[in-house]
Amino acid sequence: MNQENRSNQKLEFRNMDQDTIILGVIGADCHSVGNKILELFFTAEGFKVLNLGVMVSQQEFINAAIETNAKAIFVSSLYGHGDIDCQGFRDLCLEKVLDRILLYVGGNLVVGKTPFEIVEEKFKKMGFDRVFPQTST
Amino acid sequence: MRIAAIGLVPDLTLQLAKLAAMSAGGKVIASYSFSLTRSDIGYLENIQPDILLFSGGTDGGNSRYVLENARKLAASSLSCPVIYAGNRAAAEEVVDLMPAKEVIVTENLMPEVGQVNLEPAREKIRDLFLKRIVSGRGLSEIVDLFGTPPQPTPLAVFELISAIPQYQTDWSDLAAIDIGGANTDFYSNTESYLETDTVILKGIREPKVKRTVEGDLGLRVSAHSLADSGWAYLEERLKGLGLEVERLRKHLDKIALDLDYLPQSEEETLFDRLLAETCVYYAALRHSGGWRETYTPQGRVYVQTGKDLRRVKAIVGSGGFLAASGSAETMRRPLQKLRTYGQERKLLPEKPLFYADRQYLFSLLGNLVGKYPKEATALAVALLENLKDED
């Protein structure tokens, strides 16, 4: 996550200490390292973080968000099938009356070298509030 | 004990509410997730459960649904006590919303997502049982006579199954099955999940000691519902043995009405055994978890849901049919058949030994576990009959 994104995030959440956010790697993806780093980072930033780990389904994200009254779901995907795994995520949220939840997605979201702008547009069309590329600086 | 269970998400708090109710020896007669509807309330008013177990939300999490449901319950004519085991942050408001009901607040069944905390609610259900049902049904004489309150059979068996591995070290992982006329109970005491790099657990981590009770699986009152639920298994067995479906139907009609009926012919004995196998098959199916194989870019992994029973070393036929006339084969065959179910590999005991509680003493000894744990558990395992293979 780059500097610019990080500062934006702080703005949005500044006065919401101990809000719950849900983290997880979606689909059949087993990359767990980045997710653990995110967990440490957001915990240090004062959030209550629920990390669902790897291979998380849409329904699992949503179940956890309902029980915890979470403010945001942060979806990670590294293996290139993020666009398939994330399809209909926002619709399912609405279906389950999670109508105000923030949906963020980040990682290596599609197969191949697609320009990030196109990836971003694709995921925003799916209903994600923010989309992050796979950058580590 | 007839318990109605309310949770929020079906796979999370509702699932735990049902497990807590069953582990306390209760029977779940109704269960609801999310918002209660008017007809849900109507149904509850109609059946009047003995206890309502009310949960939903993690601590500090969702309170919208429990508050909404508390209002609806307050306006209902439900007269039973309510055990509230939901979001702690909403507990006081829930109590305030239901001034005319007896609300007992206890710890949340799921304080955090994935954290399972059934014991406090179980304790409250037990207390209520003793207070209400014992004194209400004239059982207080028994308390005077024996110095301890009697426990309902399933709770007593649960306590015994919990205590055996603690006091009898050779009996570390065990399960028990009790097939009765109306229900089939399945108990297990074993770690539910063994964490490895290639097995990922989805859903809640189930408790080490677990009881499930199946109201549609039984050999007399529930014979017809057993045939409905278990037809796939039954039909295959009948075919394999060359038996006629019609004759089984007749047998079912007879036994469903005559609760004390004992088989009169060899064929009837065989039918009863097939029905018992069917009870074992479906009770085990619902009690046990499974693995689904998935390929990921990192290789093959197994996704586990539910409880892993592979390490169970002993299975006890602890009551009803299995105690009286069960054989190892009555349990082994359906368990063997269940190893794969659909795309799932079921996590069943790998090399279990089979036992029978011939004299049906488990529930009686379970009553003594509180006071004499060592003696009661020692007696329980000493009296078990090791079932040898007959075939």
pLDDT of residue B390: 58
Q: Which of A19, A31, A83, A129 is catalytic?
A: A31
pLDDT in tens, B349-374: 999 999 999 998 999 999 999 999 99
- Residues B376-388 have a mean pLDDT of 94
DSSP codes, B71-109: HHHHTS---S-EEE-S-GGGHHHHHHH-TTS-EEE---S
d(CA B337, CA B339): 6
* Position B323 confidence tier, pLDDT thresholds 50, 70, 90: confident
Question: A10: pLDDT confidence band, cut at 50, 70 and 90?
Answer: very low
Contact B228, B252 (CB under 8 A): no
Please tell me which residue, A112 or A40, carries the higher pLDDT value: A40
d(C-alpha B296, C-alpha A25), whole Å: 13
Asked whether the predicted pLDDT for residue A12 surpasses 70, the reply is: no
> Which of the four CATH numbers 3.40.50.280, 3.50.50.60, 3.40.50.450, 3.40.50.720 does domain A3-132 have?
3.40.50.280
Give me the pLDDT at residue B94, please.
Answer: 98
DSSP-derived 3-state class of residue B58: coil
E strands present in chain B: 2-6, 27-32, 51-54, 82-84, 103-105, 174-179, 184-189, 199-202, 209-214, 290-296, 299-305, 314-319, 340-341, 344-346, 353-356, 385-386
Q: Are B202 and B305 in contact (CB under 8 A)?
A: yes
Neighbouring-strand partners of residue B56 = none
Q: How far apart are CA B101 and CA B69, in angstroms?
A: 13
**B266 band by pLDDT with thresholds 50, 70 and 90:** very high
Q: How far is CA B306 from the centre of its chain?
A: 13
Confidence label for B133 from pLDDT (cuts 50, 70 and 90): low
> Which residues in B lie closer than 8 A to residue A60 (C-beta atoms)?
202-203
Q: What is the mean pLDDT of residues B310-323?
A: 91
Region B311-328 average pLDDT = 89
Does pLDDT of B177 surpass 70?
A: yes
Q: What is the mean pLDDT of chain B?
A: 93
Most A CBs within 10 A among B9, B35, B64, B200, hence the mutation to make, goes to B9
The dihedrals phi and psi of B352, each to the nearest 5 degrees, come to: -80, 150
Whether residue A119 contacts residue A109, with contact meaning beta carbons closer than 8 Å, is answered with yes
Lowest mean pLDDT among A49-63, B3-17, B254-268: B254-268
Place A1 in a pLDDT band, splitting at 50, 70 and 90. very low
Residue that wins the pLDDT comparison between A48 and B149: A48
Q: Does B301 touch chain A (CB under 8 A)?
A: yes
What number is the average pLDDT over the span B266-273?
94
Mean pLDDT of chain A: 86
Closest CA to B279 of B236, B330, B244: B330
Contacts 24+ apart (CB under 8 A), B94-98: B94/B54, B94/B66, B94/B67, B94/B70, B97/B67, B97/B70, B97/B71, B98/B70, B98/B73, B98/B74
* Spatial distance between the Cα atoms of A3 and B291, rounded to a whole number of angstroms: 42
Identify which has the larger pLDDT, B34 or A30: B34
Most B CBs within 10 A among A66, A69, A71, hence the mutation to make, goes to: A66
The beta-carbon neighbor of A55 closest among B112, B113, B200 is B200
Task: Tell me the pLDDT band of A9, cut-offs 50, 70 and 90.
Answer: very low
- The model's confidence at residue A5, banded by pLDDT at 50, 70 and 90, is very low
Contact B8 A69 (CB under 8 A): no
Q: Whole-angstrom Cα distance, residue A27 to residue B210?
A: 30
Nearest chain A alpha carbon to B59: A68
Terminal alpha carbon distance of chain B: 40
Verify whether the Cβ–Cβ distance B294 to A55 is below 8 Å: yes
> Do B80 and B48 meet the contact criterion of CB atoms below 8 Å apart?
yes
pLDDT at B385 > cutoff 50: yes
Q: Measure in Å the smallest separation between the Cα of A64 and chain B Cα atoms.
A: 6
Residue B317 to residue B179: CA distance in whole angstroms: 8
Residue A6 pLDDT greater than 60, yes or no: no
Which token pair is B352? 């279990």
Q: In angstroms, rounded to a whole number, what is the distance separating the alpha carbons of residues A5 and A12?
A: 11
**Pick from B57, B64, B297: CB nearest A79:** B297
Cβ–Cβ contact B12 with A under 8 A? yes
Task: Spell out the domain ranges in chain A.
Answer: 3-132
Mean pLDDT of B130-137: 71
Amino acid at B60: G
Closest CA to B107 of B142, B230, B115: B115
Q: Is pLDDT of B259 > 90?
A: no
Q: Cβ–Cβ of A67/B64 closer than 8 Å?
A: no
Q: How far apart are CA B356 and CA B380, in angstroms?
A: 11
Distance of CA B350 to the CA centre of its chain: 21
Rounded Cα distance between B348 and B333, Å, is 12
What distance separates the 2 farthest-apart alpha carbons in chain B?
67
Model confidence over B183-216: pLDDT tens digits? 999 999 999 999 888 999 998 999 999 999 999 9
